[in-house]
Amino acid sequence: GMSLGKAIAQAAHAVMLFDDRWPPCAHEKVALWRQRGRPLSIEGVSPARLSTLVWETSLSVVVRDAGLTEIPAGTTTAGAVLR
């Protein structure tokens, strides 16, 4: 598994990737999220639950690790989902 610091960094990467991926005009929900100051919550979920969350909405991203520190390259470590 990941250390707490690694998990926090991966969650931050997910939010940054999400913000970069979706332009302001992409979706009304994205625009509203930005207008509200990009609020977020962090939830620890299993890989299966993360897959389900990502599958349920197109407004999502996943982070796959480069494998330079604690876990193998390509491991899905975090995701960001706009609900």
Q: Is residue 24 pLDDT above 80, yes or no? A: no
What is the reported pTM?
A: 0.85
pLDDT per residue over 28-61, tens digit each?
999 999 999 999 999 989 889 999 998 898 899 9
Contact (CB, 8 A) for 74 and 10: no
pLDDT category at 73 given cuts 50, 70, 90 is very high
Contact (CB, 8 A) for 40 and 15: yes
pLDDT category at 26 given cuts 50, 70, 90 is confident
Q: What pLDDT is attached to residue 60?
A: 92
Give the CA distances from residue 70 to residues 66, 79, 80, in Å, rounded to whole numbers and listed in that order.
Answer: 10, 18, 21
Q: What pLDDT is attached to residue 78?
A: 94
